[in-house]
Structure formats: structure tokens, C-alpha cells
């Protein structure tokens, strides 16, 4: 029987040992091992969960940055000083090139042709197959990016004959900074680096505000870098575009300032550049701020060829490091905002502050008089302190002392104020501390410590400080303090940004002018203006060369030695400066200009009165009409200031004559006998000196044979007009048009001997060349 | 019954028919807990194959699925259905039948182990010749060898009445057989199979009553061998280094382990949710295979992992429990052997996924993708169900 058979085949029952051993296995394999594994999982999933999750998420998520648009920088009239435009960065993803079996050589070839990047360089980058991001070109323009896009789309045909695009070629949006006015206000605006963050100027100071917040797109991707399936794991963080700033800089004022500074740098052969500030006297808003030694913001690394040539000439025998250091130095020099980051001895310009302090505290009055014998003894000095005029200014009123820039008088005033009170005023005028202007790099002033300054047995420090020596301040500190003298006594905090705009154009914030404190009374302020007007407006004043016909300009000259330079190099280096403001009865605008290290070989005497004063005068002549301050000419001025030639063609000769005379011109002659004027010299709209003689042509052509320009230098303005007239030429004047025996023509815009058409207008510069002195 | 024969190791179709007819009437029902646990784990396993494999099937980096996201799932599900049939079929054969075919199974497995080494029959993948391609599917002969060792060792132990105390007649045949098998596997080579087969062999000898000092001595010998191997072969050292600090070379030798740890670790307490693994998106290699447990942990978290391990533990404990309660010595040995095999695969697989032991390729029973392997596992479970029917009901 089968049943039986099976029974007999059956083996014996398991013995006890086998049961024990099976039970042992059951405990080991069924319980102990699982408890161990459970503990291990507890460690991995619970204790170390965050570590592993972070690492996993890190590899699973790929982040794409959405660049926030950088804000715009406007001038006060919403002219764009700096703006960002969208460009593209081109990069490759070697990992994807490899994964998708794209041909690295073809990609390198294509990109090289479009971008002009070296073929070998791109090919080398494709070998970094661990990388997802290798930059090929930064900030390429849209049309180039479009070509790259087309190349990417054109793609290639894979081995199965399918069309594939180049996944490994990537185009990323970025932005590029443009500065429409190139070098205009370069030191104020500043520039951004490759990462689109500000490195200098307002771009740096307001970087947080301008740059906004970059957005991000976070995606979950598979190991090949493409999207994970069926997951909504995608997060957007919107980019917040940067805010825009509206500066107090006025593009037109800035341009006037820079043009005049450049002209001064050339005329006076300045060897250490120049600095200038134009300030709104009432608010301390900075309308213009410039340094000579400028650069193109669109190419901020480039040093001008002349300087570069000089470096190359000087670097014979230098190591590469030393040469590079010279280049770096030159770059630092051209980037330096001299009006803000450098301090100097203000010299006689500072007498404005001494004057204001003296009048305010009663140390001097409008009625005070001072005798100057050429020097003054000061307690603590072994030798007497000399005045600029060693012969002495004699008896002077306070106003005359200011006009003469008399050191003896101002030392006297300073000593009467007293050291403690003097320092109180310095503190009140904010000259001990930085102004707090919204720009980085502001230098701090250097003064005697109080113990030395307050020394009763040695008044030499106080005496020197009274006329602006033995301490240094920044140009910005000085013009801010003088603005307080001019505006009724209110020290204002200077500023450069008047408004912050949101990306949508709405106003985010506005800067209200900040009164730091009232330093002097309005009465004292008025008196100061009255006195300082005489410095410029009186023919005996040292500042006459800053005079602007039709305006009552106040001001003060300064000529200081660069003491640190002299100590270091043993040679003299002068800074000639002038601070002017106008109009005297209600000052609107102040201009401070520093001309550094002029070469005496330029032919003009080295002095604030001959160099800085006319430069400031020219700036004021440009700026005041622009700012809407109407000129008021007196009779003498009306006879000489420039007039615009009216259009006379088409009128009858008698009508033409009447029109010309109404415009302050005369008619020299009428050629021909036609009924109407067919031609005129000079042409309509030309600007010529008042009283110039117009020639009218009625039916005959003017004789246009070229004439030779005569010398017009070194003569009175009226004579220059006559001399030019002999050749059928006209003049107009620039500079000090004042009825003074000392004011002569010093230069002409078209050099003597040049052949020009009749009727050409030659600009002559007028100057009182006697105003040379260390004051 | 004309074809009846006295030979213990031969059988014919007629006898097979006899067994089925015979058993259906006389034997008890299959063990319900073991059946349900098996089916439950199989179901979870198939679902996990779908979840774990669809990303790879969709992206198809090796050009084998045609981009069909359910490619692996459909195949695994079909094999699972067949597997259920196989399991119940196996449960119907009496244990004496298995005892009778044990020798044949061993001979066939040895033949296949030799055949797979023949180029043209054995398929070479990654430098190892482990697979035989049957056109519709592939299988590893070493999988059959594992069952063969269990079945044939059980037969030998039953014959050996004096409990393996005599070395020449007791232990030596086992050692020779294991030596031959390991030699063939070394030629493939197939390290993880050697480990499992040696372990199974040792467990069978342990159950068979081999004195414990052999194990102590063998353990010392194995430790020495391991030390020597570590000293001699840089390959072994690298493995150990990758085990001790997989992050040192996370992009190369440590890649699998690091990705597995990322998956398990990021699961946390509750997991990312079924189907939401992110590591399966081509980060984790073998995600539907040797590392399917890592995906499971990532999706179902610590709680899910504990539940799964509990189910496996219960299945294993039940397997041993059944082996202890069967009255027949052969059945007890085969039952304990199969259960040990199952336990070892589960424990080693989870240990590898959690970097508790150096990395080696061990699949997770009922979970890892692979048709023939699954069928064989189901057959093994079927054998346990078969022996469960011989356990007398408690009164």
C-alpha cells in the first residue's frame, strides 16, 4: 500500500537537540536580528533624519536665480545717470553635454564663432563633466544671446537620426549697468562690479537699496538634472527689483562744473588735479561735485592713455609687481573723490568762518578798524607773523580787511575771540566731525588737541587757525560751513539723494533738508554777505576775478601750501582755492573750487585770486542763469555785457538799425542800396559785446575773404573790441567785466594769426592779473 | 499501479498523481497565518516594485523598457500571480516527495552551475557570468542551488544516524559538496551567493547536530581568512573602507550606500508618502531591486519600516515554529533551512541598505524585482506550507 510505503519512508522525529537549535535560530533570526535592524533604522530615520534629509534635498533640488533689476540713478531732473539693461550670461553644463551625448567640439566651435571666445578654452570647459555650470561669456547683448539661442535650438542629429537641441548650452538672464553720461559725476555715481553690486560712490552707498532681492526658482530634479515626474515640487521666490534713487546732482550744473574744472586744469597746468562742489546754500543739497582725474564709468578700469604712457615710461627696470602697483596707484588716484576723501589746509577762505564767529560773538563789529603794518607779534612766536602784504595794509575797516585778506586783522580778531570760544564755533560749524553726507569715504578733519590749542602761553596755534592754517578739513566740510554763514546761520546736513523711488515709480521716501543747528544769527549772516560781496564786487577786493556781471557775488580767495607735501618732498605745492556764493542779498548757490599744484610756467600768477576766482566766477556765470536767478546789470555793465545779435535780414535798413540799437548794438555801415537787408554780419543769434557794430548788406554779397586774427591780449575790453572791428571781427567777453583799470584781456579763443571769415566772434577772457598773492 | 518502483529517488507521472490524490484526503489544511503573511508581504512587495521602478522604467537609461513606466511592475505582477499558483501547488506535494527529488534537484543545480559558466549559455553582466537567459526571462542557477543545498543536506543528515560525529562519514561529504558548489560560484564569480549558500550549509549542519566546537573552530578560521583577505586584497580593503565611511567617496564607491542612506534617512518618522520617493529618480541604483527597501523606508518612514520588519519577523518565527512542530525530521530540517534562508536574505538585505554590513548584492525576498527568483521563493514558502499540513491539529 502506498500509504504504508510512505509511512516507512518517513524519517524519525526530530530529537530534542534539533528542537533546541531550531529555537535558537528562531530567536536569533526572528527576534534579535530584527531588533538590531530596528535600532539601526531608528538611528537613520529618527536621530539622523535631518542630516540625511538635508543632504538628499541638496542633491535633488536645483536652484535657478532670477536676477532682480537694479534700480536707476537719476539726477534731480530725472535724467538717467545710471541704469541697468538686461543682458545674458552664456554658460555650459558639461554634465548635460556628456549625459545627452552632445558633441563638445561642435559646441565649442559654435559658441566660439558667436561669442569670440577662444575655441580651446570652451573645449577645456566641456571636460569638467562633474560641473553643471561653466561660464563662457558674461553680459552679452541681446542680439548675441539670440544667436546663441538659435545655435542651441538648431542642435544636432543624434545617432538614431533624431533632432536634438543642445541641452548643455545655457542662457541666463543678467543685467548690465550703463552710464549714459560716461564720466559725468563719475566719483559721485560710482560703479558696480561684475556681480552687479556697487563698488564705489552712490552705487556702493545705496547698494542694498538699488540691488533689490534676487528671486529663485527651486525645482526637484532627477539625477540627470531634468524635472522629476509627477511632483509639484517647484517653488518660486519672486525677485524684488531694486529701488531707484533721485540724486540732488543736476546734470547741467555738474557739466558746467566739470567743464570749467577741466579748462582750469589745462590753463593752469594743474599737476595734482582739482576738486569742486556746487551746493544749494539753503538745503546743503549737493548740485555738483567733481574731481579732475576722472574716468568713464562704462569702462571704469581704463586709465587715460597719457597717464598710462607716463607709467610705461617710468617703469623701465621695474618688476611686473612694481609696475602693476603703479597702475593700481594711478587707478586709485583717478577714482578718488577729492572733494570728499581728502583734507587740506583751507587757508584764507577760512577767514569767512573767523569773520562770522568774530561778528557773532562781538569780537569784531562792522565799525571795527584794524591797522596792518605788515606783521603782528603773537605770544608764543619768536618771530612776528607776516601779512601777505609785507608793506602792510595800513588802516582798514573790517570790510577792507576782508577785501585785502589781511592776516594781521584776522589774527587780531581770532585772538579776541579766544581759543575756547574759537573752538566752540568750529564745533558749531561742524568742522570737528564728518558731515555725514550719504557717500562713503568721507575724510575726517585734523585739528590741534584742546590742551595745545587752549595754551594761554602760546597763541600761535589760534593765530594761525584764524586765517586757515595748521589744521585740515575736507572741501565738503568747508562749503557746508560757509553755506551756514550764507543762508542765515543754519548748518545743514549735506546730502546727495533727495528721493527714493520704488520699482513701480512711486515715491518710497524723500529726504527733507536737515538743520543740524543754527550757528550764527541771521543778522550776522547778513553782515558777512555784505562784507564778502565787497571782496568780489569791489575793484580793490582780492576776489574781483570771480565777479559776474549782473550778479552780486560774495566770496573769498584762498592760497595754501600743501604742508605735508613740503615736509615729504621739500618742494612747495600750492592749492589755490575760491569759495563764492550768490546772490548776496539772498544766496542760492555756493561754489568751492580747489586747484591743486598749478605750474607757475602756465603764465598766470599762482594765487586763488587769479586762478580759482575766475574759475568759480565762470561756474557762477553758467549756473546762476540756469537756476533762474535773473541778472541785474548796472549802467556800466549794460554797455559791455554780451548781447545776442537779432535777425535783421528781411527788414528795411531803417527798421534793422532800430532793432539793432534796441538790442544794444550799433550799425557800422549799410552796404548796397536794396530796399531790404539781404545779409548781416555777424550772423543772427551770435553773442557779441554790447555796442558792437553790425554791418548790413542790402542787395550785395558780403566780402567773405578770410582775414587774419589780430592779437587781442593785454588790452582793455573796449580796445579789444575796436581792434577786432578793424579786421571785421567781433569780440565777446568772459570773466571779470568790471570797470577797473586793472582788468585786461588775458587770452583769446582764436589765436593771433589764424585766418577766419569776417564776422567771426572771438571770445576774450578778462582778468585782473594783479590779484596775485598768498591769500 | 503498474509503474510503482522501489527506488527512493525516482518518480514518475503516475506516482505524482498518486501523491496528489493521496494527500488531498489525508493531510490537514495549510497553516493559515503563514499563508496570509506570505500573501500580504508579496502584495506589498509588488506595489513597492511599481512605486520604486516607474521612474527608471520611464527614463529608461539603459534602453530596456522602451520608456514604459509600468514595464517592471507588470512583469513582476504576472510572476507574482504565477508565484501564488506555484506556492499552493508546492503545498500540495507531500514532504516525502520532496525528500525523493532532493538528489535530482542537487544534481540539476550542479549541472546548471556548470552550464552557466559556458559562454553562450551563461550571460555575462558586469564581468560576472551568473545568468541563464531563457528568452522570456533570465534566472540565476545559484538560486536553485540554495534550495538544493537545503533539501539534499536534510536528506544526508537524516541518513546519518550518529549525528555527524564521525568526520569521514559524517562531515566530509558535506564539505566536499560545499567545496564543489563554492568552486563553481567562484568561477562566475558570485560572492553573495557563496556567503548565503555557505551560511545555509552551516545552519543545516548546526541543526543536524554537528558538535558546537566545529562552529567555534570554523568561526575562528573564517575570521582568520577574512583578516588575511583584508591584508592581501586591496579590493577587500576598499569595500571595508567604503563601508566604514561611504561619504569619503560618495560619487563613486560610496555612491550606492550614500544614496541609500539619503533615502532611508529622509524618510523620517512617517515617510514622504507612498509613491513619493525622490531618491528613486535615478539617484539610487537598483532601486526596484537590491535597494527596494530603501525606497520603502523613504516613502513609508520609520513606522512603515517597523511594520514591514514585524511582518517579516512574524513570517520567520512562524516558519521556525512550524518546523519545530512537525513530527518528521526531514520536514523539520527543510522547514528550518528554508526559514533560515528567508531570514538571512531579509536581514542581510536590510543590513546592506542601512550600511550595517559592507555592501553586497542580496535581494529582498518577495520585494526585489526578478521573476524566477520570486517563483523559487514562492516554491520554498509552498514547501513550508506543505510541511505545515503534516502537523497534527491540537485537540
DSSP secondary structure, A395-461, as one string: EEEHHHHHHHT-HHHHHHHHHHH-HHHHHHHHHHTT-SS----SSTTPPPPB---HHHHT-TT--HH
- Is residue A678 over pLDDT 50? yes
Report whether A616 contacts A608 (CB < 8 A): no
Q: What pLDDT, on the 0 to 100 scale, is given for residue A1?
A: 38
Q: For residues A171 and A146, what is the distance between their CA atoms, to the nearest angstrom?
A: 9
Which residues 6+ apart lie within 8 Å of A493 measured at CB?
A: A284, A435, A436, A437, A513, A514, A516
- Whether B250 has its CB under 8 Å from any CB of chain A: the answer is no
Residue B338 inside a domain? The answer is yes
Phi, psi torsion values for A397, nearest 5 degrees: -80, 175
The count of C-alpha atoms lying within 13 angstroms of the C-alpha of B104, restricted to the half-sphere facing its C-beta, is 11
Percent helix, percent strand, percent coil in chain B, to nearest 5: 70, 5, 30
Write the residue in B96, B268, B276 that is nearest to A45 by C-beta.
B268
Report, as an integer, the average pLDDT of A137-155: 88
Q: For residues B151 and B103, what is the distance between their CA atoms, to the nearest angstrom?
A: 8
C-alpha cell at B19: 501523491
Min distance B159 CA to chain A CA atoms (Å): 8
Report whether B336 contacts B207 (CB < 8 A): yes
Contacts with A230 from chain B: Cβ below 8 Å: 275
Contacts with A100 from chain B: Cβ below 8 Å: none
- Please count the structural domains in chain B: 1
Q: What pLDDT, on the 0 to 100 scale, is given for residue B25?
A: 53
C-alpha cell at A191: 560703479
Contacts with B313 from chain A: Cβ below 8 Å: 30-31, 34
Min distance A307 CA to chain B CA atoms (Å): 53
Tell if the CB–CB gap between A12 and B18 is shorter than 8 Å. Answer: no
Helices (H), B118-254: 141-159, 172-187, 191-208, 212-232, 234-244
- Whether B50 has its CB under 8 Å from any CB of chain A: the answer is no
Tell if the CB–CB gap between A2 and B1 is shorter than 8 Å. Answer: yes
C-alpha cell at A527: 553782515
Among candidate residues B386, B387, B381, B361, the one with its CA nearest the CA of residue B42: B381
Tell if the CB–CB gap between B326 and A6 is shorter than 8 Å. Answer: no
Tell if the CB–CB gap between B347 and A222 is shorter than 8 Å. Answer: no
Continuous segment of H or E residues that includes residue A386:
strand A385-386
- Whether B306 has its CB under 8 Å from any CB of chain A: the answer is yes
Among candidate residues B42, B52, B57, the one with its CA nearest the CA of residue B298: B52
> By CA distance, what is B315's nearest residue in A?
A30
Tell if the CB–CB gap between B332 and A25 is shorter than 8 Å. Answer: no
Radius of gyration of chain B (CA): 22
Each residue of B335-363: pLDDT tens digit? 999 999 999 999 999 999 999 988 888 89
Tell if the CB–CB gap between A34 and B302 is shorter than 8 Å. Answer: no
- Is residue A294 over pLDDT 50? yes
- Is residue B7 over pLDDT 70? no
Q: How many CB pairs under 8 A join A and B?
A: 181
* A73: number of Cβ within 10 Å: 27
| Residue A223: pLDDT band with limits 50, 70, 90 | confident
A65 vs B110, residue with greater confidence: B110
Q: Which of A7, A31, A37 to mutate to test the interface with B (most CBs of B within 10 A)?
A: A37
Q: Which of A99-113, A354-368, A371-385, B226-240 has the highest mean pLDDT?
A: A354-368
Distance of CA B30 to the CA centre of its chain: 22
- Is residue B141 over pLDDT 80? yes
Each residue of B44-102: pLDDT tens digit? 999 999 998 888 888 877 777 777 888 999 999 999 999 999 999 999 999 989 999 99
Report whether A560 contacts A405 (CB < 8 A): no
Tell if the CB–CB gap between B207 and A221 is shorter than 8 Å. Answer: no
Determine the straight-line distance between the first and last CA of chain A, rounded to whole angstroms: 142
Tell if the CB–CB gap between A52 and B265 is shorter than 8 Å. Answer: yes
Q: Which of A167-176, A269-278, A643-652 has the highest mean pLDDT?
A: A269-278
Q: For residues A248 and A250, what is the distance between their CA atoms, to the nearest angstrom?
A: 6
Q: For residues A619 and A630, what is the distance between their CA atoms, to the nearest angstrom?
A: 15
The DSSP bridge partners found for residue A576 are A559, A595
Report, as an integer, the average pLDDT of A622-643: 87
* A573: number of Cβ within 10 Å: 18
Q: Given strand B128-133, what is the order of strands in its sheet?
A: B122-125, B128-133, B138-139
**In this structure, what DSSP letter does residue A297 have?**
G
Phi, psi torsion values for A293, nearest 5 degrees: 105, 65
Min distance A221 CA to chain B CA atoms (Å): 8
Contacts with B297 from chain A: Cβ below 8 Å: 41, 44-45
Tell if the CB–CB gap between B313 and A34 is shorter than 8 Å. Answer: yes
Q: Which of B207, B269, B305, B386 to mutate to test the interface with A (most CBs of A within 10 A)?
A: B207
- Whether B8 has its CB under 8 Å from any CB of chain A: the answer is yes
Each residue of A421-453: pLDDT tens digit? 999 999 999 999 999 999 999 999 999 999 999
DSSP per-residue codes, A62-80: EEEEEPPPPPPEE-TT--E
Tell if the CB–CB gap between A14 and B8 is shorter than 8 Å. Answer: no
> By CA distance, what is B347's nearest residue in A?
A33
> By CA distance, what is A8's nearest residue in B?
B96
**3 state DSSP class of A674:** coil
| Residue B16: pLDDT band with limits 50, 70, 90 | very low
Write the residue in B94, B99, B354 that is nearest to A37 by C-beta.
B354
Min distance A128 CA to chain B CA atoms (Å): 15
Q: What pLDDT, on the 0 to 100 scale, is given for residue A486?
A: 96
| Residue A217: pLDDT band with limits 50, 70, 90 | confident
- Is residue A519 over pLDDT 50? yes
| Residue B14: pLDDT band with limits 50, 70, 90 | very low
Q: For residues A415 and A466, what is the distance between their CA atoms, to the nearest angstrom?
A: 8
CA-to-CA separations, B138 to A25, A101, A465, B143, B379, in angstroms, rounded? 33, 30, 102, 12, 17
| Residue A11: pLDDT band with limits 50, 70, 90 | low
Q: Which of B8, B20, B266 to mutate to test the interface with A (most CBs of A within 10 A)?
A: B266
Which residues 6+ apart lie within 8 Å of A299 measured at CB?
A: none
Report, as an integer, the average pLDDT of A649-653: 88
Tell if the CB–CB gap between B266 and A51 is shorter than 8 Å. Answer: no
* A4: number of Cβ within 10 Å: 8
Residue B24 inside a domain? The answer is no
Min distance B354 CA to chain A CA atoms (Å): 7
- Chain B, window 91-150: residues with a beta carbon less than 8 angstroms from a chain A beta carbon: 94, 96, 99-100
Report whether A242 contacts A68 (CB < 8 A): yes
Phi-psi region of A219 (alpha: psi -120 to 50; beta: other; left: phi over 0): beta
**In this structure, what DSSP letter does residue A335 have?**
H
Tell if the CB–CB gap between A45 and B267 is shorter than 8 Å. Answer: yes
Q: What pLDDT, on the 0 to 100 scale, is given for residue A464?
A: 93
Residue B280 inside a domain? The answer is yes
Q: For residues B352 and B192, what is the distance between their CA atoms, to the nearest angstrom?
A: 12
Among candidate residues B97, B111, B105, the one with its CA nearest the CA of residue B146: B105
The DSSP bridge partners found for residue A386 are A375
B371 vs A590, residue with greater confidence: A590
Phi, psi torsion values for B331, nearest 5 degrees: -60, -40
The DSSP bridge partners found for residue B119 are B122
Q: For residues A448 and A465, what is the distance between their CA atoms, to the nearest angstrom?
A: 9
- Whether B236 has its CB under 8 Å from any CB of chain A: the answer is no
Contacts with A222 from chain B: Cβ below 8 Å: 55, 59, 281-283
Write the residue in B22, B282, B356 that is nearest to A222 by C-beta.
B282
The region of weakest confidence among A303-312, A656-665, A757-766, B122-131 is B122-131
Each residue of B143-155: pLDDT tens digit? 999 999 999 999 9
| Residue A312: pLDDT band with limits 50, 70, 90 | confident
Q: For residues A84 and A174, what is the distance between their CA atoms, to the nearest angstrom?
A: 10
DSSP per-residue codes, B106-147: HHHHHHHHHHTTSBTTEEEETTEEEEEE-SS-EE-HHHHHHH
Strands A730-735 and A761-768, sheet pairing: parallel
Task: Tell me which residue has cell 527597501.
Answer: B293
- Whether B165 has its CB under 8 Å from any CB of chain A: the answer is no
Write the residue in B59, B306, B343 that is nearest to A29 by C-beta.
B343
Q: Which of A19, A32, A223 to mutate to test the interface with B (most CBs of B within 10 A)?
A: A223
The region of weakest confidence among A195-199, A225-229, B79-83 is A225-229
Q: For residues A376 and A389, what is the distance between their CA atoms, to the nearest angstrom?
A: 12
Percent of chain A with pLDDT over 90: 50
- Whether B339 has its CB under 8 Å from any CB of chain A: the answer is yes
Q: What pLDDT, on the 0 to 100 scale, is given for residue B281?
A: 81
Task: Tell me which residue has cell 578739513.
Answer: A473
Report whether A710 contacts A723 (CB < 8 A): yes
Min distance A134 CA to chain B CA atoms (Å): 20
Q: Please, what sign has the CA dihedral across residues A291, A295, A301, A306?
A: negative
Tell if the CB–CB gap between B320 and A22 is shorter than 8 Å. Answer: yes
Percent of chain A with pLDDT over 70: 97
CA-to-CA separations, B360 to B122, B239, B242, B246, B256, in angstroms, rounded? 21, 9, 12, 14, 11
Write the residue in A41, A48, A233 that is nearest to B297 by C-beta.
A41
CA-to-CA separations, B36 to A212, A445, A755, B381, in angstroms, rounded? 63, 92, 117, 11
Q: For residues A636 and B347, what is the distance between their CA atoms, to the nearest angstrom?
A: 113
CA-to-CA separations, A595 to A49, A270, A291, A572, in angstroms, rounded? 69, 7, 10, 14
| Residue A304: pLDDT band with limits 50, 70, 90 | confident
Range of the domain at B131: 30-388
Q: Please, what sign has the CA dihedral across residues B303, B304, B305, B311?
A: positive
Is the pTM of the predicted complex or chain greater than 0.90? no
Q: Please, what sign has the CA dihedral across residues A496, A499, A504, A508?
A: positive
Burial class (CB in 10 A: 0-12, 13-18, 19+), A757: middle
Q: For residues A255 and A268, what is the distance between their CA atoms, to the nearest angstrom?
A: 20
Amino acid at each position: 500500500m502506498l500509504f504504508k510505503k510512505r509511512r516507512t519512508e518517513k524519517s524519525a522525529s526530530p530529537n530534542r537537540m534539533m528542537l533546541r537549535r531550531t529555537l535558537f535560530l528562531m530567536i536569533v533570526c526572528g527576534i534579535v536580528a530584527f531588533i538590531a535592524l530596528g535600532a539601526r533604522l531608528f538611528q537613520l530615520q529618527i536621530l539622523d533624519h535631518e542630516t540625511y534629509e538635508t543632504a538628499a534635498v541638496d542633491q535633488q533640488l536645483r536652484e535657478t536665480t532670477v536676477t532682480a533689476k537694479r534700480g536707476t540713478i537719476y539726477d534731480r531732473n530725472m535724467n538717467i545717470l545710471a541704469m541697468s539693461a538686461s543682458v545674458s550670461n552664456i554658460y555650459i553644463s558639461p554634465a548635460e553635454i556628456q549625459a545627452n551625448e552632445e558633441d563638445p567640439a561642435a559646441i565649442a566651435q559654435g559658441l566660439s564663432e558667436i561669442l569670440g571666445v577662444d575655441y580651446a578654452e570652451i573645449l577645456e570647459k566641456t571636460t569638467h563633466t562633474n560641473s553643471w555650470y561653466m561660464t563662457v561669456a558674461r553680459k552679452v547683448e541681446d542680439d548675441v544671446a539670440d544667436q546663441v539661442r538659435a545655435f542651441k535650438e538648431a542642435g544636432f542629429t543624434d545617432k538614431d537620426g533624431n533632432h536634438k537641441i543642445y541641452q548643455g548650452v545655457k542662457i541666463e538672464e543678467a543685467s548690465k549697468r550703463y552710464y549714459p553720461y560716461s564720466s559725468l559725476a563719475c566719483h559721485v555715481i560710482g560703479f558696480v562690479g561684475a556681480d552687479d553690486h556697487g563698488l564705489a560712490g552712490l552705487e556702493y552707498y545705496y547698494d542694498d537699496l538699488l540691488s533689490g532681492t534676487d528671486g529663485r526658482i527651486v525645482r526637484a530634479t532627477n539625477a540627470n538634472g531634468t524635472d522629476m515626474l509627477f511632483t509639484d515640487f517647484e517653488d518660486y521666490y519672486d525677485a524684488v527689483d531694486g529701488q531707484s534713487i533721485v540724486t540732488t546732482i543736476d546734470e547741467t550744473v555738474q557739466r558746467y562744473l566739470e567743464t570749467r574744472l577741466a579748462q582750469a586744469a589745462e590753463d593752469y597746468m594743474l599737476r595734482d588735479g582739482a576738486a569742486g562742489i556746487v551746493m544749494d546754500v539753503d538745503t546743503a543739497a549737493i548740485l555738483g561735485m567733481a574731481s579732475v582725474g576722472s574716468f568713464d564709468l562704462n569702462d571704469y578700469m581704463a586709465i587715460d592713455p597719457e597717464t598710462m604712457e607716463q607709467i610705461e615710461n617710468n617703469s623701465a627696470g621695474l618688476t611686473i609687481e612694481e609696475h602693476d602697483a603703479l597702475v593700481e596707484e594711478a587707478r586709485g588716484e583717478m577714482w578718488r573723490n577729492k572733494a570728499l576723501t581728502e583734507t587740506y589746509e583751507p587757508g584764507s577762505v577760512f577767514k569767512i568762518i573767523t569773520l562770522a564767529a568774530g561778528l557773532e560773538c562781538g569780537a569784531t563789529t562792522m565799525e571795527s578798524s584794524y591797522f596792518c603794518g605788515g606783521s603782528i607779534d603773537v605770544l608764543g612766536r619768536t618771530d612776528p607773523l607776516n601779512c601777505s602784504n609785507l608793506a602792510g595794509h595800513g588802516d582798514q575797516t573790517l570790510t577792507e580787511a576782508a577785501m585785502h585778506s589781511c592776516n594781521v586783522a584776522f589774527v587780531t580778531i581770532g585772538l579776541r575771540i579766544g581759543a575756547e570760544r574759537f573752538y566752540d564755533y568750529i564745533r558749531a560749524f561742524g568742522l570737528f566731525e564728518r558731515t555725514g553726507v550719504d557717500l562713503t569715504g568721507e575724510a575726517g578733519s585734523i585739528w590741534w588737541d584742546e590742551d595745545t590749542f587752549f595754551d594761554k602761553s602760546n597763541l600761535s596755534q589760534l593765530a594761525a587757525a584764524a586765517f586757515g592754517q595748521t589744521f585740515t578739513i575736507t572741501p565738503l566740510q568747508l562749503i557746508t560751513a560757509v553755506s551756514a554763514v550764507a543762508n542765515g546761520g543754519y548748518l545743514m546736513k549735506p546730502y546727495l539723494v533727495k528721493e527714493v523711488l520704488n520699482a513701480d515709480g512711486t515715491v518710497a521716501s524723500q529726504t527733507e533738508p536737515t538743520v543740524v543747528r543754527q550757528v550764527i544769527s541771521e543778522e550776522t549772516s547778513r553782515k558777512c554777505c555784505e562784507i564778502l560781496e565787497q571782496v568780489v564786487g569791489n575793484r580793490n577786493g582780492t576776489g574781483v576775478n570771480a565777479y559776474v556781471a549782473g550778479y552780486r557775488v560774495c566770496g573769498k580767495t584762498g592760497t595754501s601750501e600743501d604742508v605735508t607735501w613740503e615736509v615729504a618732498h621739500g618742494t612747495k605745492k600750492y592749492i589755490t582755492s575760491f569759495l563764492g556764493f550768490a546772490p548776496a542779498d539772498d544766496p542760492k548757490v555756493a561754489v568751492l573750487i580747489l586747484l591743486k599744484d598749478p605750474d607757475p610756467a602756465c603764465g598766470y600768477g599762482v594765487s586763488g585770486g587769479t586762478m580759482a576766482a575766475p574759475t568759480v566766477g565762470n561756474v557762477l556765470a553758467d549756473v546762476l542763469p540756469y537756476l533762474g536767478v535773473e541778472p541785474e546789470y548796472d549802467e556800466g555793465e549794460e554797455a559791455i555785457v554780451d548781447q545776442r545779435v537779432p535777425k535783421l535780414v528781411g527788414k528795411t535798413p531803417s527798421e534793422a538799425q532800430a532793432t539793432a540799437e534796441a538790442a544794444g548794438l550799433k550799425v557800422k555801415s549799410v552796404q548796397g542800396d536794396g530796399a531790404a537787408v539781404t545779409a548781416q554780419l555777424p550772423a543772427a543769434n551770435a553773442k557779441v559785446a554790447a555796442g558792437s557794430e553790425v554791418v548790413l548788406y542790402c542787395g550785395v554779397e558780403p566780402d567773405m575773404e578770410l582775414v587774419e586774427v589780430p592779437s587781442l591780449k593785454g588790452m582793455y575790453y573796449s580796445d579789444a573790441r575796436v581792434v577786432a572791428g578793424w579786421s571785421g571781427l567781433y569780440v565777446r567777453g568772459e570773466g571779470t567785466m568790471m570797470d577797473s583799470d586793472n582788468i585786461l584781456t588775458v587770452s583769446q579763443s582764436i589765436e593771433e594769426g589764424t585766418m577766419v571769415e569776417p564776422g567771426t566772434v572771438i571770445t576774450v577772457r578778462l582778468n585782473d592779473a594783479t590779484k596775485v598773492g598768498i591769500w | 499501479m503498474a509503474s510503482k518502483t522501489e527506488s527512493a529517488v525516482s518518480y514518475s507521472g503516475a506516482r505524482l498523481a498518486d501523491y496528489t490524490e493521496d494527500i488531498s484526503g489525508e493531510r490537514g489544511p495549510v497553516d493559515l497565518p503563514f499563508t496570509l503573511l506570505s500573501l500580504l508581504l508579496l502584495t506589498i512587495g509588488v506595489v513597492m516594485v511599481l512605486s520604486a521602478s516607474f521612474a527608471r522604467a520611464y527614463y529608461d537609461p539603459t534602453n530596456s523598457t522602451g520608456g514604459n513606466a509600468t514595464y517592471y511592475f507588470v512583469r513582476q505582477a504576472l510572476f507574482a500571480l504565477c508565484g501564488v499558483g506555484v506556492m499552493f501547488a508546492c503545498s500540495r506535494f507531500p514532504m516525502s516527495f520532496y525528500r525523493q527529488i532532493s538528489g535530482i534537484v542537487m544534481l540539476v543545480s550542479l549541472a546548471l552551475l556548470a552550464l552557466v559558466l559556458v559562454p553562450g549559455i551563461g550571460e555575462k553582466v558586469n564581468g560576472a557570468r551568473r545568468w541563464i537567459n531563457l528568452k522570456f526571462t533570465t534566472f540565476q542557477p545559484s538560486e536553485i542551488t540554495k534550495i538544493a543545498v537545503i533539501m539534499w543536506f536534510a536528506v544526508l543528515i537524516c541518513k546519518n544516524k550518529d549525528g555527524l560525529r564521525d568526520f569521514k562519514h559524517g562531515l566530509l561529504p558535506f564539505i566536499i559538496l560545499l567545496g564543489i558548489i563554492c568552486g563553481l560560484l567562484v568561477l562566475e564569480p558570485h560572492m553573495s551567493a557563496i556567503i548565503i549558500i555557505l551560511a545555509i550549509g552551516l545552519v543545516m549542519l548546526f541543526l543536524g547536530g554537528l558538535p558546537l566546537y566545529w562552529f567555534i573552530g570554523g568561526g575562528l578560521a573564517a575570521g582568520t581568512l577574512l583578516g588575511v583577505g583584508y591584508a592581501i586584497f586591496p579590493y577587500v580593503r576598499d569595500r571595508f573602507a567604503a563601508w566604514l565611511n561611504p561619504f569619503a567617496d560618495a560619487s563613486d564607491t560610496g555612491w550606492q550606500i550614500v544614496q541609500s542612506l539619503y533615502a532611508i534617512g529622509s524618510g523620517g518618522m512617517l515617510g514622504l508618502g507612498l509613491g513619493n520617493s525622490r531618491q528613486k529618480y535615478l539617484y539610487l541604483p537598483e532601486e526596484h531591486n537590491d535597494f527596494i527597501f530603501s525606497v520603502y523606508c523613504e516613502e513609508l518612514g520609520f513606522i512603515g519600516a517597523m511594520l514591514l520588519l514585524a511582518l517579516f519577523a512574524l513570517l520567520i518565527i512562524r516558519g521556525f515554529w512550524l518546523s519545530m512542530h512537525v513530527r518528521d525530521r526531514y520536514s523539520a530540517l527543510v522547514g528550518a533551512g528554508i526559514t533560515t534562508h528567508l531570514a538571512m536574505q531579509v536581514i542581510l538585505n536590510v543590513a546592506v541598505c542601512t550600511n550595517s554590513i559592507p555592501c553586497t548584492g542580496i535581494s529582498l525576498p518577495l520585494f526585489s524585482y526578478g521573476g524566477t527568483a520570486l517563483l523559487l521563493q514562492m516554491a520554498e514558502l509552498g514547501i513550508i506550507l506543505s510541511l505545515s499540513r503534516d502537523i497534527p491539529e491540537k485537540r
